Structure 1
Amino acid sequence: MSELSVGDLVAMRQLGCRTLAGLGGLDRKVVWAHSCELDDPWNWLAADELLMTTGICVPADESRQVELIRQLARAGIAGIAVGDDMKAPPLTDAMLAEADALDFPVLTVSHSTPFSALGRTVAVASQSEQISRIARLSRLYEAARSATMADSSLLERLSAELGYELHVVDVEYRTEVLGREGRIDGDTIRALCHRLEGRLDRLPARLAVEVGDTLAATAFPLPTHRTCMLVAAGTSDVDLDAFGLLHAQSLIGIEVERATRQRERDDALGAALFQQIIDGTLGSDAAQPRLEQTGLADREWMVIGFDSPHLRAARIVLGDNEIASLSCVVGEEGYLMSAAADIDVIVELLGPHIPHMGLSAGTSTLQRVPDSVRQSRWALQAARADGSAVAEYSTAAPLFLPRTLSEAQFAARAILGELMDHDEKNQTQLVETLDAFLTADRSWSATAAKLMIHRQTLAYRLKRIEALTGRSTKSSADIASFWMALIALRISRGGME
């Protein structure tokens, strides 16, 4: 597709055009040519259009001629073509000098060349490009529309239209988005993400992805909240015009946003369901049809525990890999329930994003899921304690802590029983205060800020804790006992008060 410029018109000798001034602007593109003889032609033409005049609209006064050039240039007009049939006033040196200064082309057109010939030349060149663009745009949007009415995905439809195998990659989590048949090669994703390390805040407009010494794909950024790129797989460079590429990016970006919002809604519904199962407020009969919708009915399940800030990563990675799960936050931990058969794959996928995970034993009854949550929390504490990535409830126990839930309950009450009874009887928060104080490494300011209380209030509570327990918050031995008892309490409760 060609793009006509003012210089192209001058180069066509049969049109009889000659440049009087503004040689520096001959590369201005021309999308239309329009004749106008009004006093203010800049108000009647659009940007990149060529003004054709017999000279009636050209004022005789020098200053007004200069102003004419300024107004036309300010409006983005491609240039002015003046007929040399003696109807135009003399073009002053000041006008031509202003045109040179603004790189605004001033042409003269031979009286033997009708304006219609000039107009047709521009129209044919312009229309052929515009018609091609409109046709391409129509096909792209038809592909997007029909993708919602057929089994094939939007990516597959657009791939067929554009002639490239298109994929969407989340370069933050290294996953392929918008599942389609024939996923992109893992080596290509790794090579792409490696090239973008440290540059996720500003993705390049175009990036060649090489695996070894071979071009594997070409990637383009997408206008999405997730950090995604459109990847055209193939060993040859992608030759897409900017027009088609821009609209393909927009269409796919919209689809990614739509799919992301839908998944977030599904995750929220799943979290509410999981929370009801944990709380025991939803019976098996009521839960069964809802589990069928998630693909988790009639399965053996396991629960994975992890620090709650990693919940979003877990949902994105598993969602992109189309693995059924329920997830929610309880206390300061995130929990994920999935089919036991998928756990090994899940652990492998989440490993690069979550430093510590605790795995429960398997269960096939909903009534045991709350126990599974406690087990996963127990295993998570073990993983944190020894610095391992994954710990299983059946084989791990946090160092120096009891190995069973009943023992954990006993250990917690042995140290914190007086505080727990006092809190329950007087509606106080002494256990919470002690937990926050030790978690903040005994920082008074950090603890007061977290609990949103005054430092004097914190001092009163700490004195009360020491009086009730007979232990000091300054003694290393007593602090160790407090800390282990708090961990045992968390495990025994599974994060559920």
Structure 2
Amino acid sequence: MAITVQDIVSMDQLACSVVAGVDGLARPVLWAHSCELADPWTWLGRDELLMTVGICVPSGEQAQVRFIEQLDAKGIAGVALGDHLVAPPLTSAMLAKADELRFPVLSVRHTTPFAALARTVAIASQSEQLGRITRLGRLYELARLTTPGGTALLERLSAELGYALHVVDVEYGTEVLAATSRLPAGVVGALRAAVTDVDRLPPRISVTAGDGTATAFALSTHRRCVMVIESGDVDLDAFVILHAQSLVGVEVERTTRERERTDRLGETLLGQLVDGKIGGEAASPRLEQAGLTTSPWQALAFTAVAVDAARAVLSDDGVAYLSLVSDDTALLLCARDDADGAVTAVREHADAIGVSAPIADPGRISEGAREARWALESARSRGAEVADYSDSAPLFLPRTVEEARFATRVVLGPLLDHDRAKGTELVRTLRVFLDGDRNWSGTAEALRIHRQTLGYRLRTIESLTGRSTRKPADIAMFWMALAALDIAGEG
């Protein structure tokens, strides 16, 4: 049996007296810990005695009542206040609340070192501590025997500890290590909401959502992850939990690094497929090795800043994919059946998404990437979140890369030839002029040229193309030709 608060009070050499909560003296004390932080219940576990000179005790009646309520709610064994004249006066409301909750409040004579009180508890709890150390050894043995991947580790730790463990990335709302069952969406949402405006994750978070409750512990990982215990009513051993956090954190880092290595290999492979360096039969075994075993596939294009989110969410969900960042655009290739989930994963983080037509042949992946880029331009021009290449006809743009090349040559061919031959920037000048709503001053400033030089370039453009930079019909033709130029990959 563990030592009780009554046992501590009965030891005359410790010079402890009861101030309030006399009916709770039978509470067991597994450990005694000194803490002066404003939230000591965060740093102590169930059945641990808080030792303080009173710095952490708030002033004011209501604040002191909440202080006692929080300590009791977290299962703290009691509070031992050193008689050092540092603590604020204890209010009658606080002492009454301690009596009501049967929460022991002790006064410790200033001549009694907290170390003596702590060592007394430690010696009395030695046999139990040996049991906890044995249990801890089993946890580390489980981690040593677990292969990379995380599922087995979580399952074994859950079985050993007696409650279900999860690992949640609170930035993306995903479970980083696969578990036997998933946390309710409401609990995950509550965890994310609890840390929305927090730069550093709190060491412990308790949430309730609907019928689900959970207690989360921050992990020391480069992703914003927490280890979650599905029920908030379990008896948590802070000593064991701390080491479980360490083991799980190492597994998260190991799994994340392995995924990052896979992403780098995938980026190289997709780049070769898009550039046409690998195709046909040579591509099939490489795609199978990446998990993309069954066609058709689909390509997605979106702003590059969303690629980390896409990779994290899809990896956590176990979706096979290849991804690539080129300039300011990300490309992602996945199975057609996973495309809707990929769009959902990206949508929260990207301004627009373009989706290619289904890709049945590895040799058509390059074409699919162009289609996805094309659809992305379509989405942006229409102000839509998602555009499918198969539905882009309303833009009156060519529907194949060959058509795009033809349209580009018809409208912009003379300008492209002139730029290549003379080293001029007529196409760029036209693009900046139209993007800037044909504002002369803004265009000249963006190009860092004089207005007279801009006028000369515009007259040259009109002369070479036979189209006006002032007529709406010709402006529309120029705009669509520039879009086609980008899609054709010749911009």
Common topology (TM > 0.5): yes
The amino acid that maps onto 1:469 is: I
Distance 2:425 2:250 in 1: 48
Q: How does 1:176-187 map to 2 (within 5 A)?
A: 176-187=175-186
Deviation for aligned residue 1:403: 3.9
1:227 to 224, 230, 233: 224
**Structure 1: unaligned runs, 5 residues or longer:** 20-26, 32-98, 109-117
Query: Percent identity among equivalent residues?
Result: 47
- CA 1:431 to 1:272, structure 2 compared with 1: closer, same or farther past 3 Å? farther
1:199 to 193, 197, 200: 197
CA deviations over 1:393-427 (Å, ceiling 9, x no partner):
22223635344434432333344323322333355
For the 8 Å contact 2:320–2:334, the answer to whether it is kept is yes
**Counterpart in 2 of 1:328?**
324
**Counterpart in 2 of 1:256?**
252
For the 8 Å contact 2:306–2:346, the answer to whether it is kept is no
Deviation for aligned residue 1:324: 0.8
- CA 1:440 to 1:275, structure 2 compared with 1: closer, same or farther past 3 Å? farther
- CA 1:227 to 1:249, structure 2 compared with 1: closer, same or farther past 3 Å? same
Distance 2:378 2:391 in 1: 10
For the 8 Å contact 2:266–2:322, the answer to whether it is kept is yes
Deviation for aligned residue 1:178: 0.9
CA deviations over 1:304-328 (Å, ceiling 9, x no partner):
2222221112111111111111111
Secondary structure of 2:172's aligned partner: coil
Distance 1:211 1:154 in 2: 27
For the 8 Å contact 2:444–2:454, the answer to whether it is kept is no
**Counterpart in 1 of 2:311?**
315
CA deviations over 1:161-186 (Å, ceiling 9, x no partner):
22111111112212111113222233
TM-score (norm 2): 0.69
Q: How does 1:363-374 map to 2 (within 5 A)?
A: 363-374=359-370
| C-alpha RMSD of matched pairs (Å) | 4.1
**Counterpart in 2 of 1:190?**
189
**Counterpart in 1 of 2:393?**
397
- CA 1:402 to 1:465, structure 2 compared with 1: closer, same or farther past 3 Å? farther
For the 8 Å contact 1:357–1:391, the answer to whether it is kept is yes
Distance 1:163 1:459 in 2: 76
Matched, 1:425 2:421: yes
For the 8 Å contact 1:208–1:215, the answer to whether it is kept is no
For the 8 Å contact 1:325–1:339, the answer to whether it is kept is yes
**Counterpart in 2 of 1:301?**
297
Distance 1:216 1:100 in 2: 40
Deviation for aligned residue 1:387: 2.5
For the 8 Å contact 1:305–1:335, the answer to whether it is kept is yes
Distance 1:151 1:323 in 2: 16
For the 8 Å contact 1:4–1:125, the answer to whether it is kept is no
Q: Which of the pair has more CA radius of gyration?
A: 1
Distance 1:445 1:257 in 2: 52
- CA 1:388 to 1:17, structure 2 compared with 1: closer, same or farther past 3 Å? closer
The amino acid that maps onto 1:233 is: E
Deviation for aligned residue 1:281: 1.0
**Structure 2: unaligned runs, 5 residues or longer:** 17-28, 34-82, 87-107
The amino acid that maps onto 1:455 is: R
Matched, 1:289 2:281: no
Secondary structure of 1:280's aligned partner: coil
TM-score (norm 1): 0.68
Secondary structure of 2:298's aligned partner: strand
Distance 1:244 1:206 in 2: 15
Deviation for aligned residue 1:100: 6.0
Distance 1:188 1:105 in 2: 45
For the 8 Å contact 2:8–2:14, the answer to whether it is kept is yes
- CA 1:339 to 1:107, structure 2 compared with 1: closer, same or farther past 3 Å? closer
- CA 1:402 to 1:290, structure 2 compared with 1: closer, same or farther past 3 Å? closer
Matched, 1:455 2:448: yes
The amino acid that maps onto 1:206 is: R
Secondary structure of 2:393's aligned partner: coil
CA deviations over 1:247-286 (Å, ceiling 9, x no partner):
2222212211221111111111101101101111124343
1:209 to 207, 210, 219: 207
Deviation for aligned residue 1:294: 1.0
**Counterpart in 2 of 1:164?**
163
Distance 2:476 2:157 in 1: 62
**Counterpart in 1 of 2:96?**
none
The amino acid that maps onto 2:325 is: V
Secondary structure of 2:324's aligned partner: strand
Secondary structure of 1:218's aligned partner: strand
Distance 1:178 1:334 in 2: 25
Deviation for aligned residue 1:150: 10
- CA 1:444 to 1:184, structure 2 compared with 1: closer, same or farther past 3 Å? farther
